[in-house]
């Protein structure tokens, strides 16, 4: 297909790489990662094939939710650098052709934000109505708590205001009142500010919570919150025509679809939604050695609007949530990939990374990433996945998977020259620690996971059919095999074996010859259009129709 189209709707074949500036690379030796350190690593990201960086929150913050608790939306946390450093980094990324998006966390602020401190003084404060207050918590105040290990209610009493305020997340994160037009204007201003500094869009945090206006007195009178999301998207489009909103919406497919909007260019909402359902069904398939649950999810998954797209991932910065599986299914995944209580979180997820969950089995790890790049959607990587970093369970909660990037086998894994006590988190030791898993060694090893990732990313970019094509799940009569084809001005057929033994699935295809995209091997089909493809344990094949 014509590559000019992929340059236009760039997000459809993007490689998104999520990182936290604080844990990526320390440029000034104070123990914190910073924008100077990140800028020095841009060429590494470019060599990997990254086309878009997603920066986790880098704004000033008391850091009680790793930066998702913000006290100023318009600048950089001094620990991470200055606005000047940010601009220098942006310029360097742009020079290498890498776009940048950032977390837009506007469902709430930190309770230390000057707006909230002013709001607490009472109704005379211009900021009072920027938050959601009630004299008494509503009867369902305990429903839908996101962090059940820390919170018991969505409403907390504020002594100064003498009222309860709404917080969907931690109590130190009061929810902003998006029903208030002044708040809406401010959110647009925040977006406009960062777009002006060169961002290509936002990863929008907790979108369903952001749109939720149920806590307001006049909730029924308020306009449809989806109109608001469409307004935001239209604003984004006016300010920067090809900017995107990548939304965190963890809901069943039918409900998630609403967040794409009408897709008619008039009431578009999110450009991309993460495929939380596909991700969870994929882990169930992996646990069972049976491709069925993933095939089923892909068959069920609705098509996004024409210019919209699913974003796929196998790990992110939070707990690996399994909340949309049944209790029994979740238990199967826990048993396979995180049997100890300490590996689990909130009774719904895992705080481990891929290599340790797969028991260090390179075949399984490599297969999982082959799935990530070949399943229809835009792949989103979490830093360190490309080299196979694992977690450190000694860190609290979700921080287990947010340890510093492992650059080399030297002190602090090459992340920083500071005293280890000054680092943002522990450096894991053991088989996945920097002495065994680091960028420097893998860059020199053609058989490393990093080399495999680069190869997959290259092939994914060479096969835009995967992202743009219409996909079909193929029957192979082999339960452990997922076979799918993607068609658009060309066809790519991909097979994955979920079993720990060889399989020889048979495919029926209306073609005469296939070429292995990785090895170049040619396969000619018999006259009956049938072909048997050999797959090793946890093997994968990407085949292009010649």
**Region 227-266 residues binding ligand GLC, contact defined as CB under 6 A:** 248
What character string, x for contact with ligand GLC (CB under 6 A) and - otherwise, covers 141-180? ----------------------------x-----------
Q: Is position 205 annotated as part of the catalytic site?
A: yes
544 beta partners:
492, 515
Least distance in angstroms from the C-beta of 105 to ligand GLC: 5
Q: Which is nearer to ligand GLC, 70 or 503 (CB)?
A: 70
> Which is the catalytic residue, given 205, 212, 391, 478?
205
Q: Which of 34, 65, 275, 319 binds ligand GLC (CB under 6 A)?
A: 65
Q: What distance in Å separates the CA atoms of residue 530 and residue 512, rounded to the nearest whole number?
A: 9
Residue 319 binds to ligand GLC (criterion: CB under 6 A): no
Helices (H), 359-502: 362-374, 439-443, 449-462, 465-468
Q: For 441, list phi and psi in degrees, rounded to 5.
A: -65, -40
Nearest to 248 by CA among 198, 306, 199, 318: 318
Shortest reach from residue 398's CB to ligand GLC, in Å: 7
Question: In the annotation, is 30 catalytic?
Answer: no
Cα–Cα nearest to 379, from 95, 49, 131: 49
CB of 187 to ligand GLC, least distance (A): 15
Taking the complex as a whole, how short is the minimal distance between the CB of residue 71 and ligand GLC, in angstroms? 14
Say whether residue 68 binds ligand GLC (CB under 6 A): yes
Q: How far apart are CA 515 and CA 168, in angstroms?
A: 51
Q: Count the site residues for ligand GLC by CB under 6 A.
A: 9
Is residue 107 within 8 A of residue 232, CB to CB? The reply is no
Nearest distance in Å: CB 209, ligand GLC: 8
Binding residue for ligand GLC, selected from 22, 158, 205, 275, defined by CB under 6 A: 205
Does 105 bind ligand GLC (CB under 6 A)? Our answer is yes
- Of 248, 269, 392, 478, which residue is the catalytic one? 248
Q: Give me Rg for the CA atoms of the chain.
A: 24
Collapsing DSSP states into helix, strand and coil, what is residue 402?
Answer: coil
Check if the beta carbon of residue 307 is closer than 8 Å to that of residue 9: yes
Q: Cβ closer to ligand GLC: 399 or 449?
A: 399
Q: What is the pairing mode between strands 309-312 and 272-274? A: parallel
Spatial neighbors of 408 by CB under 8 A, at least 6 apart, are: 414, 434, 438, 439, 440, 441
The rounded distance, in Å, linking the Cα atoms of 429 and 418 is 18
**Measured from the CB atom, is 26 or 248 closer to ligand GLC?**
248
User: Three-class SS of residue 408?
Assistant: coil
Please report how close the Cβ of residue 154 comes to ligand GLC at its closest, in angstroms. Answer: 13
**Nearer to ligand GLC by C-beta: 206 or 413?**
206
* From candidates 31, 81, 206, 434, binder to ligand GLC by CB under 6 A: 206
Q: Which residues are catalytic?
A: 205, 248
Which residues contact ligand GLC (rule: CB under 6 A)?
Answer: 65, 68, 105, 169, 205-206, 248, 317-318
């Amino acid at each position: 297909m014509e590559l000019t189209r992929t340059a236009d709707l760039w997000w459809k074949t993007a490689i998104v790489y999520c990182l936290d500036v604080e844990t990526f690379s320390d440029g000034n030796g104070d123990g914190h990662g910073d924008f100077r350190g990140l800028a020095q690593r841009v060429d590494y990201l470019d060599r990997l094939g990254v086309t878009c960086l997603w920066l986790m929150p880098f704004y000033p913050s008391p850091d009680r939710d790793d930066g998702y608790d913000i006290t100023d939306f318009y600048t950089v946390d001094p620990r991470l650098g200055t606005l000047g450093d940010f601009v220098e980094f942006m310029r360097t990324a742009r020079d290498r052709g890498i776009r940048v998006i950032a977390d837009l966390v506007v469902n709430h602020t930190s309770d230390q934000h000057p707006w909230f401190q002013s709001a607490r003084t009472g109704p005379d404060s211009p900021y009072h109505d920027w938050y959601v207050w009630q004299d008494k918590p509503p009867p369902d105040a305990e429903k839908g708590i996101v962090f059940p290990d820390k919170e018991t209610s969505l409403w907390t009493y504020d002594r100064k205001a003498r009222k309860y305020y709404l917080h969907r997340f931690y109590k130190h994160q009061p929810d902003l009142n998006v029903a208030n037009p002044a708040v809406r204007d401010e959110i647009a201003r925040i977006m406009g500010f960062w777009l002006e500094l060169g961002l290509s869009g936002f990863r929008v945090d907790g979108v369903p919570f952001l749109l939720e206006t149920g806590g307001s007195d006049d909730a029924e009178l308020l306009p449809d919150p989806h109109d608001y999301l469409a307004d935001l998207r239209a604003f984004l489009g006016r300010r920067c025509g090809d900017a995107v909103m990548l939304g965190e919406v963890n809901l069943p497919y039918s409900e998630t679809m609403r967040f794409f909007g009408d897709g008619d260019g008039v009431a578009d909402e999110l450009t991309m939604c993460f495929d939380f359902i596909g991700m969870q069904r994929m882990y169930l398939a992996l646990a069972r050695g049976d491709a069925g649950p993933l095939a089923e999810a892909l068959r069920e998954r609705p098509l996004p609007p024409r210019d919209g797209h699913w974003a796929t991932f196998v790990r992110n910065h939070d707990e690996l949530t399994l909340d949309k599986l049944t209790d029994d299914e979740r238990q199967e995944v826990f048993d396979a990939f995180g049997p100890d209580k300490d590996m689990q979180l909130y009774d719904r997820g895992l705080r481990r990374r891929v290599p340790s969950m797969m028991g260090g089995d390179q075949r399984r790890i490599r297969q999982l990433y082959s799935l990530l790049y070949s399943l229809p959607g835009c792949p989103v990587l979490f830093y360190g996945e490309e080299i196979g970093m694992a977690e450190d369970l000694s860190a609290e909660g979700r921080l287990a998977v947010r340890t510093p990037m492992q650059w080399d086998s030297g002190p602090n894994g090459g992340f920083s020259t500071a005293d280890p006590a000054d680092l943002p988190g522990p450096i894991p030791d053991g088989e996945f620690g920097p002495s065994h898993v680091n960028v420097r060694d893998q860059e020199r090893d053609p058989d490393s996971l990093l080399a495999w990732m680069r190869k997959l990313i290259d092939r994914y970019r060479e096969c835009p059919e995967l992202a743009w094509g219409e996909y079909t799940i193929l029957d192979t009569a082999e339960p452990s095999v997922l076979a799918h084809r993607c068609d658009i001005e060309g066809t790519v057929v991909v097979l994955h074996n979920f079993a720990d033994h060889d399989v020889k699935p048979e495919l029926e295809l209306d073609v005469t010859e296939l070429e292995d995209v990785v090895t170049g091997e040619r396969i000619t089909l018999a006259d009956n259009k049938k072909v048997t493809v050999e797959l090793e344990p946890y093997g994968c094949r990407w085949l292009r129709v010649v």
